[in-house]
Amino acid sequence: MNQTVVSYLSQYEFYDFLLALFRNNQGVLAFTLYLLLALIIVGMCATIGGLGTYAERKISADLQARIGPNRVGPYGLLQMLADGVKMMTKEDIMPFTADKKLFYLAPLLCLTGVFATLAVLPFSSGFIMADLNVGIFYLVAISSLVGLGVFLGGYASNSKWSMLGGMRGASQIISYEIPVTISILAIVLLAGGMGFGTIVGRQGGLPHEWFMFHNPFAFIAFFVYSVGALAETNRAPFDLPEAESELVSGYHTEYTGMRFGFFALAEYIEVFVVCGVAASLFLGGYNVPGIKLDILPMQAAQFVIFMTKTLVLYYVVIWIRWTLPRLRVDQLMSVCWKYLTPIAIFNLMGCAIWMVVFNGKSIAELVLGSH
Amino acid sequence: MFLQFLFISSAVLTVSCALGVLMVKNIMHSCVFLLGSLMGIAGLYATLGADFVAITQIMVYVGGVVILMLFAVMLTGGNDFVSRAQNLLGLPASMGNKWTYAIGLLVGVVFLLTNIQLIRGLTKALPVKTITNEFPSTVTQIGHLLVKDHVLAFEMSSVLLLGALVGAAIIARPRKQN
């Protein structure tokens, strides 16, 4: 059934205390808790997105033998705040020929799509806003709002660079959704459910219990997912929608101040979400190696494990950006349709056949004997 | 309480955005209103407890259909339709003549009567039914139904989609230079 963070909290004693505080009004208490936790998660992820810009600059500086931001705060850590203040105080320019309503709407659609995905991201077995039994499907569906935002942003600016960037963005996001979704489907097949709780629950803490090493097809599916996810979040080497050497900066050329900030923030949070999904689908998610207890401090340990895996993947994404050159548009499309999609379909069928032939056992279980 | 709130807000969103699609002159704005309307319909499905169908609605319509519509509008001229209020023959556009009005009225009356006939049985006091379900989730249930009761329709639609895919590939293929 659908589990939520409130139904998880309700098994502890302090929930009864809170309930008494709210005069036994279950609905109001649940709503208040949801509101608080949603604010916490959104605030936390916005901070991670902001720190992502800092990490990007610091790691790129590292890779290019520079120092990077080091003036604001210790190690330049407060650079993000300075950037935030700068963006808020900048003039909000509206192009004269822009489609005003859509121009306002586009960055909001991007940000809404990304924040909506946070509802099902499993930070720990209890700290997941709503463990829907269609969790991963919801995430894939609602994140398509980002593509719409990119496209409308490009259209509404009414400039040629933005238009080209928006069209590239929309076609790229739609195309790469197919190999990504099929790779996810292979994992859903292994887990026997689409909810994040089910998928992560079927894996263990140690690497041989992860779905990535469940069988050779899932191993390939991880890399197909990673490449597709890079393209879906418009990250290099697939950052054609904002290719600054060709399109100035693509769909957000005409945006200034905090509206541009929304696009940038949405991108960095989406990278975090995509890394979190990769960690929970393929790398065992929040499972703590070796320990299976259901106590409250355990949640903190699970949270740390999840964050570690996700942030390592985040580092890899930034590392790739500053290492690989950008693809051409035709190369981008042929990578998607001629290579990734057939490989993803092959993986899906391979996983299905593996599940039937080996009765759902992983390689480790077959080698070490079942337990 | 929560379901009522969800239902009312979804219904208002659906209807008001559907009206927006009709009222707005700009065709791109129409598409965006359509997006809101389709999201509202997803909310209505969620009210009914059909979570899988609700998500599919978002996946197919928001992620696919609306973006394709925007693409099609943009590639075929988009905003120019606003200023050029003429029909295909170059005459000033009008809503129709007396025959089209008469036919439209007739269709409207028949549609209204059919709807009244359909709704009439439902306005009496509804018995509250508790749905007993042996499946743990709607996903499982839909999966079981698709490969048991409706397997023929499922397989036939997959053949249809394969045909559409092959057809698109043939149309998009570059012609040989003879």
Residue range(s) defining the domain that contains residue A168 = 90-368
Query: What gap in Å lies between CA A356 and CA A360, rounded to an integer?
Result: 7
**pLDDT tens-digit readout, A214-239:** 888 888 999 999 999 888 888 778 77
User: What ipTM describes this predicted complex?
Assistant: 0.81
> Is residue A279 situated within a structural domain?
yes
Q: Which residues of B touch A155 (CB under 8 A)?
A: 28, 70, 74
B63 touches chain A (CB under 8 A): yes
> Is residue A79 situated within a structural domain?
no
Distance from CA of A60 to the nearest CA of B (A): 33
Bigger pLDDT: A83 vs A222: A222
Chain B CA closest to residue A170: B67
Query: How many structural domains does chain A have?
Result: 1
Query: What gap in Å lies between CA A30 and CA A15, rounded to an integer?
Result: 10
Query: What gap in Å lies between CA A24 and CA A20, rounded to an integer?
Result: 5
B142 touches chain A (CB under 8 A): no
Is the CB of A102 less than 8 angstroms away from the CB of B32?
yes
Is the CB of A133 less than 8 angstroms away from the CB of B35?
no
Residue A215 amino acid letter: N
Q: Which residues of B touch A178 (CB under 8 A)?
A: none
> Is residue A239 situated within a structural domain?
yes
> Is residue A6 situated within a structural domain?
no
> Is residue A132 situated within a structural domain?
yes
Q: Nearest Cα to A231, choosing from A170, A287, A278?
A: A170
Bigger pLDDT: A43 vs A76: A43
Given pLDDT bands bounded at 50, 70 and 90, which one contains residue B164? very high
> Is residue A48 situated within a structural domain?
no
Q: Which residues of A touch B58 (CB under 8 A)?
A: 141-142, 144
What is the sign of the dihedral through the CA atoms of B78, B83, B85 and B91?
Answer: negative
Mutate to test the interface with A, among B67, B73, B162 (most CBs of A within 10 A): B67
> Is residue A51 situated within a structural domain?
no
Given pLDDT bands bounded at 50, 70 and 90, which one contains residue B83? very low
Q: Say whether B172 sits in a helix, a strand or coil.
A: helix
A231 and A333 Cβ atoms separated by less than 8 Å: no
- pLDDT at residue A39 tops 70: yes
A279 and A205 Cβ atoms separated by less than 8 Å: no
Mean pLDDT of chain B: 80
**pLDDT tens-digit readout, A293-349:** 667 778 888 888 889 999 999 999 889 888 888 888 888 888 888 899 999 999 999
> Is residue A332 situated within a structural domain?
yes
From the list A141, A155, A174, the residue facing B28 with the nearest CB is: A155
